[in-house]
Structure 1
Amino acid sequence: MNRITVPMDEPKPSCHSTLSTASHLTRSELLKRRFQNLKRLSKCYRDLYWHLMEHVKTLYRNYLYHYALNPFSHFHFPTCAFLGCNLKPMPFTSFCHFHILSDSNQKLYKPCNYVIKGSLSLSLSPLFTLVIMHN
């Protein structure tokens, strides 16, 4: 495991450098020294925290790059179940609008019986029919 080292600031020389090695201090001197040490320690921990956050961000980015799935590479668009048709199917069916009549289970569409003038053929488009279910 890699260790993260954070440079620690040198303690600032106090105006009472002779008291830095003293064994007896007044209450105010002791509190002042403890407060300065606490500020140095909190700065050290704060710097260490942000270095760790940068390290975790880098590790997470590498993890996603190597192990996460690409949302576009495995995305599969469904196509019409009719042989050779690559159109998008209608919702809740496996056939497109042009081949919906090939589905034997569907009840909503029926073939159009409209005769086109000038030709002897029927219209090939399916018509939506309203089916009312009776209990």
Structure 2
Amino acid sequence: MFRKFKVGGYYEGARVKNTSKELEDKLLSDEVRTYSQEIRKYLSEDFFEFGSSGNIWCREDCLDEKGIGIMDASVSNFTLHLLADDVALATYQLENRTRGNHTLRSSIWKQVDSQWKMFFHQGTIVPE
């Protein structure tokens, strides 16, 4: 069972949820997606992804000099579940206007040295 919005025995879930949402939004922004140095700040060393394309990606795959590309997208139905004091599962829906599809997204974030880093991500295309 997931623990919702409880960190260290006291309530601070709104802050953690807002931080996670901001981080997901940053990873969707052109300012981060097109610069590998920026991407590096948000992905853990052992990051991997099961992409909606069917590909499996690791952190190094995302650090190409061109980054991971521009995407016109919006997030809805964002939910955060704390799995442990320093591990959170974020789930949401993404409308990708660049590719013309909708996906269900999940990310696992781990707090490393007081910073939240994405450890895992998965995108699943929603059939039309």
| TM beyond 0.5 | no
**Which bin holds the TM-score, normalised by the shorter protein?**
under 0.3
Higher Rg: 1
TM-score of the pair, normalised by structure 2: 0.20
TM-score of the pair, normalised by structure 1: 0.20
| Higher helix proportion (structure 1 or 2) | 1
| Higher strand proportion (structure 1 or 2) | 2
